[in-house]
């Protein structure tokens, strides 16, 4: 086969691998969400202890990350001072623990489909917090897009058959804390040139989450678990659930590392629609026409937001290449002028 055929095969291989990474991430993300719902929902496994479930996940992930980083040396730890750890990683760990706690708590009160609709507000929260903390610039067209997403989610909430104000409040708090965490990662870590992959992130952040979650756990859930004589930890259920949560972190690393964060955002939209369909057809959650219409509006807003980010990335990349070309041309011109002066001096 000729050179053109080889190039086509390479391109095809990269495309297929990208789809494979997307498929793995969607499957694991889908599995973790449905599994958490199964454990926490009172009509299913009926173990309504979201803080305990989150702590089990963090303990499992901390242990595996410690083994991979410190024992087997599969991943190199990041060089980090004690001051940087307490000023940057600890606040991020606190936000992460709150995000996971409230997100898991929402599964007790809300359907899987409605939670996915509320999660469409994530770009709105990230952009709003970024503007507030002066990480992003205010743009009227972007804000109009954020308003359209918010309007779509509001319509979906209006059409929710089993609306629960406590569950909605918990999920909105989870979105707010997660958005703040993402912005703080950019401010506290990325600005200092520190990048954490999912394993090193869990190595540093998961123990912080355990410490922060232990306080509300001791007050809110430990007394209930202590007095519940029938409780026993099902190692098969919680072990496989924790393994799925850890595998999801690795899938995020694969997807973002081999494709891009934008690809994950687009794949997330596909996953949300699949979860809504699953919630309606298998779990038998009620999904109304107003739900779908509202989420459809939000979906269009999120799609436009992702499209705008892609165009901005392309423009930035084009500008970077043009600048590099100008610098290269300037360097060649200087070398040429230097050579000409050298020849003139030798005459």
Is 168 within the bounds of a domain? yes
Is 302 within the bounds of a domain? yes
Is 41 within the bounds of a domain? yes
Q: What is the pLDDT of residue 156?
A: 95
Q: What is the pLDDT of residue 341?
A: 67
Is 56 within the bounds of a domain? yes
Q: What is the pLDDT of residue 1?
A: 46
Is 4 within the bounds of a domain? no
Is 107 within the bounds of a domain? yes
**Per-position DSSP letters for 53-79, written without gaps between them:** HHHHHHHHHHHHHHIIIIIS-SSPPPP
CA distances from 46 to 43, 50, 231 (A): 6, 11, 11
Query: CA-to-CA distance for 276 and 294, rounded, in angstroms?
Result: 13
| Whole-model pTM over 0.75 | yes
pLDDT 10s digits, 40-79: 998 899 999 999 999 999 999 999 999 999 999 988 888 8
Is 332 within the bounds of a domain? yes
Q: What is the pLDDT of residue 233?
A: 80
Pick out the chain residues at pLDDT < 70.
1-8, 229-231, 257, 260-262, 325-326, 329-330, 337-347
3-class secondary-structure state, position 36:
helix
Q: What is the pLDDT of residue 35?
A: 96
Number of structural domains, the chain? Answer: 1
Domain ranges, residue 87: 10-227+234-345
């Amino acid at each position: 086969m000729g050179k053109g055929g080889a190039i086509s095969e390479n391109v095809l291989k990269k495309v297929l691998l990208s789809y494979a990474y997307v498929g793995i991430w969607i499957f694991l993300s889908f599995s973790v969400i449905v599994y958490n719902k199964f454990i926490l929902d009172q009509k299913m496994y009926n173990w309504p202890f979201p803080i305990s479930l989150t702590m089990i996940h963090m303990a499992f992930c901390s242990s595996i990350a410690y083994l991979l980083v410190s024992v087997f040396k599969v991943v190199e730890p990041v060089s980090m001072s004690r001051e940087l750890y307490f000023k940057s990683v600890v606040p991020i760990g606190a936000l992460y623990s709150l995000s996971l706690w409230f997100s898991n708590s929402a599964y007790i009160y809300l359907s899987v489909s409605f939670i996915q609709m509320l999660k469409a507000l994530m770009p709105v929260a990230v952009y709003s917090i970024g503007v507030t903390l002066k990480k992003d610039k205010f743009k009227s067209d972007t804000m109009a897009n954020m308003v359209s997403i918010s309007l779509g989610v509001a319509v979906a909430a209006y059409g929710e058959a089993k609306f629960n104000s406590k569950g909605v409040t918990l999920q909105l708090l989870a979105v707010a804390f997660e958005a703040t965490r993402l912005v703080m990662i950019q401010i506290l870590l990325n600005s200092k040139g520190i990048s954490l992959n999912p394993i090193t992130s869990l190595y540093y952040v998961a123990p912080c989450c355990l410490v922060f979650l232990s306080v509300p756990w001791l007050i809110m859930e430990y007394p209930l678990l202590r007095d519940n004589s029938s409780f026993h930890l099902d190692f098969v259920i919680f072990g496989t659930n924790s393994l799925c949560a850890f595998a999801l972190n690795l899938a995020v690393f694969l997807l973002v590392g081999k494709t891009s964060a934008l690809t994950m955002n687009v794949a997330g939209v596909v996953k949300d629609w699949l979860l809504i369909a699953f919630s309606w057809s298998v779990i038998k959650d009620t999904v109304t026409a107003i739900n779908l219409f509202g989420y459809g509006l939000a979906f269009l807003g999120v799609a436009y937001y992702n499209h705008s980010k892609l165009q901005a990335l392309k423009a930035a990349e084009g500008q970077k290449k043009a600048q590099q070309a100008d610098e290269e041309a300037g360097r060649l011109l200087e070398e040429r002028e230097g050579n000409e002066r050298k020849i003139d001096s030798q005459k």
